[in-house]
Structures are given as C-alpha cells and as structure tokens.
Structure 1
Amino acid sequence: MAKSEGDMTIEQFEELLDQHGPDLRNWPEEQVAPALALLSISQDAQDSLRLAASIPKLAKASPAPKAPASLVNRIMTKVKK
C-alpha cells in the first residue's frame, strides 16, 4: 500500500515526541493530525507515547528504576549522530 503525503512514520513520530514531549498540544499544529492517525494504527507509536508520558513519574520514583532498553537504544542512536 502506498503512503500518502500526510502519513507519518514511526521514526518521524519519535523525533517529534523527543522534541515536543508527549502532550500533542505542544506539537506543531500541522503534525497533530498525522500523529493521531499513526497512533490509531501503530502499537509502536502508542508504546512510545506511553513511555514518554511516564518519564516524569519515573524520574520521581525512588529508587530510580532502570531505563527500558528501547529508550537507552534510542538515546544512544541520537548521541552517535
């Protein structure tokens, strides 16, 4: 199935998530609809959003929990760029 111009990839979604946080009200207006469309069909996008939303709670937890491997991998990938 061909992608339309408005489609968002999981990579684009995660980049915007990293830049603007888990509250879509803080995202550029033109990115919200494609993000919601992706969230409606992508478990990966839903998981990424849930993880990003949980980070403030995790930061306050005592003792500090170990970061999920997927988060560590995303951070390390960005550091290497």
Structure 2
Amino acid sequence: MSRLHADFNGLFGDLLCLSHADTCEDEYGNEVPLHEGMQATAFEPDIDGGQPDDLIASGIVVRSPDWLQCNGSRWALRIDKNGVRHQSEIT
C-alpha cells in the first residue's frame, strides 16, 4: 500500500483531495501514478506537543467528483471506516 503525502485542508467528509495531477508524492519524494481503486494511506506531517505525530487516513483512490474537480482536483482518497487519525493512535 502506498503512503502518499496529502494536505488535509482538502478534506471534505470522507473524501480527501490527493492531487491536481495524475501523480502524487510518496513519503520518499517519489512521484506515484494514481489510478482508480488503488489502496493508499495519506499522511500529513504534524507536530503534536513538539513530537512528530503524522495525520493519516487510509482508503481507496477515486477520481474526484465534479464538484471537487472545479477546484482543480483530479484524484481523491475515499477514506475508510477508520477515518482521520494521528499515527500514535494506531495500535
């Protein structure tokens, strides 16, 4: 499963905008081609109390719906039942 960098300001319910292009940067800075049905975990670095504690969300990559495409989004992550959480919350 790919771990993709995302801006969680682009969170709309269970959809998180991943990219305005056909690729997204992974945790190592590599460009990853996106495709429908791809399983992925999105992350955004977060400092909590001075300690790194990334925001994360897992799910399936989907084409952005029309209402999100008008803002330039091409691909989104449909977030699974675990929702958005901090890395430290995963046991």
For the pair shown, which has the larger CA radius of gyration, 1 or 2? 1
Structure with the largest fraction of helix: 1
- TM norm. shorter chain > 0.5: no
Structure with the largest fraction of strand: 2
- With normalisation by structure 1, the TM-score equals 0.30
